[in-house]
Amino acid sequence: MFSHSLVELSRLLDQRSISSVELTELFLSRCQDHNQELNCFITLSPRTALEHAKAADKLINNKQHGPLTGIPFAHKDIFCTEGTRTSCGSKMLDNFQPPYDATVVKKLNQAGMVCLGKANMDEFAMGSSTETSFYGPTRNPWDLTKVPGGSSGGSASAVAARLIPAATGTDTGGSIRQPAALCGITGLKPTYGTVSRFGMIAFASSLDQGGPMTQTAEDAAMMMNAMAGFDINDSTSLERETTDYTANLNDSMDGIKIGLPKQYFSDDVDAGTIEKINDAIKQFEKGGAKIVDIELPKTALSIPSYYVVAPAEASSNLSRFDGVRFGYRAEDPKDLLDLYCRSRSEGFGNEVKRRIMIGTYVLSAGYYDAYYLKAQKVRRMIRDDFQQAFKEVDVIMGPTTSAPAFGLNELVDDPVQMYLADIFTVSVNLAGLPAISVPAGFSSGLPVGLQIIGDYFSEPRLLNLAHRFQQDTDWHKQIPEGFTE
């Protein structure tokens, strides 16, 4: 039962083969049994979850339910949840209980889903390994000595180990897709503005985007139907007609043009990863897709551009954490300046401090034009690269990451190498495009992710291609050893 997809669980609940309370108890038991070894949850909320499950069962019994009603899941601990600790993986917010729900939280509550708790993450979503969390690193269920990716590593690890059937994540530079790839699950980063950012604690406001992390593309489509939509509380939310993300899942891929960027298949990419990606592409060719070689020449500039723009926005967003209104406050400050300085220096971890300092520097007088303004110009060039490519092809494919999961503590003291782990994902955020990562096999016993990138608002096509691929493969059904019972 614990290995079932959202679609399968929805069917069982609808048929009343199992109740939401029974399902919630099952997944809570798995979370409590395995969380110590994986550390994928910061907070578990069994009492609240069971209350919501009982309410869901009433809706189901009265035939007032939707497709997601009664299904357990978890939120990344970046979404404000009324009355429940929302820490963002930081000591700064260890004692913070929001007085309101994020829009994503509210929407999934309205859909009847049952939240079991809050998943571990890199502090303020700054990291690629979930090692910067104040609550300790999360482990990859495929190999407990490896990282699960980041910053949504807790969500990815929990879904991969089948502690929960689905979770929310956020993606600023690959933080849904990269951990999805390293843990062997499906992760969708929607078009910027499609999912509300209201109540999602900000890292880099022009890059952040929430999305689903699930076993399958079909499950991701189900969650998108609940998560997406215009929100008057978010000034960057896009007002568009409602989309049914499940409507085109079974469309034919015959004649679809798939672009393969030369830059994504270089000698720097792990050979086993390339082999699995090529095998996946052959599967699409069998389905009638056409392969087109393309170039994205500004790919190499995406990392330096991102690591100017994102820290600049982070330094601004994190200025609100000053020890005065909420969050961590230093004890016995001598004066106001001492309160500010010590609250921030004690409340933030090293990676957050590093990015605040970089961001403050690139925005300072005399350096704004040299760094921040130039990075924004490069960002536009990266966007133009993609738009030129989409004149020739329908989607772009390649590896999500250049190699499988790396070891815990392997890159923690080498931030530049850690940043390079996002080489194939950050450009999508800079351009505001949608992209999905799906399991495509294993290299050296660890999962490999295939990334499919589309033009703006092409999520239905991405989900269609991913779904058709998963109908012909079973990589998404694999469960790590030790978590199969």
Task: For residues 142 and 163, give the distance between their C-alpha atoms in angstroms, rounded to a whole number.
Answer: 14
Task: Answer yes or no: 76 catalytic.
Answer: yes
DSSP letter for each residue of 373-402: IHHHHHHHHHHHHHHHHTTT-SEEEEESSS
Q: How far is CA 349 from CA 11, 57, 214, 377, in A?
A: 44, 42, 30, 31
402 contacts: CB under 8 Å, gap ≥ 6: 268, 269, 270, 273, 420, 421, 423, 424
Task: For residues 81 and 88, give the distance between their C-alpha atoms in angstroms, rounded to a whole number.
Answer: 12
Question: CA-CA-CA-CA torsion for 291, 297, 299, 300, nearest 10 degrees?
Answer: 140
Task: For residues 263 and 297, give the distance between their C-alpha atoms in angstroms, rounded to a whole number.
Answer: 7
Residue that the structure tokens 């209980």 belong to:
97
Task: For residues 311 and 237, give the distance between their C-alpha atoms in angstroms, rounded to a whole number.
Answer: 22
Task: For residues 177 and 160, give the distance between their C-alpha atoms in angstroms, rounded to a whole number.
Answer: 13
- 3-state helix/strand/coil string of 33-48: HHHHHHCCEEEECHHH
Q: Exactly one of 19, 20, 133, 151 is catalytic; name it.
A: 151
Backbone angles phi, psi at 310, to 5 degrees: -65, -50
With residue 463 as reference, give the H or E element that holds it. Answer: helix 459-472
Positive or negative, the CA dihedral 310, 311, 312, 316 is positive
- Kind of pairing, strands 395-399 and 446-454? antiparallel
Task: For residues 66 and 112, give the distance between their C-alpha atoms in angstroms, rounded to a whole number.
Answer: 7
Which tokens belong to 472? 């012909």
Task: Answer yes or no: 175 catalytic.
Answer: yes
Coil/strand/helix, residue 122: coil
How many Cα neighbours within 13 Å face the side chain of 285? 10
Q: How far is CA 299 from CA 315, 382, 383, 399, 422, in A?
A: 25, 7, 10, 14, 11
Q: Exactly one of 19, 76, 315, 437 is catalytic; name it.
A: 76
Q: Which amino acid is at 163?
A: L
Q: Exactly one of 19, 90, 157, 175 is catalytic; name it.
A: 175
Task: For residues 269 and 288, give the distance between their C-alpha atoms in angstroms, rounded to a whole number.
Answer: 27
Nearest to 9 by CA among 67, 63, 50: 67
CB–CB of 459/191 below 8 Å? Answer: yes
Q: Any idea which residues carry the catalytic annotation?
A: 76, 151, 175
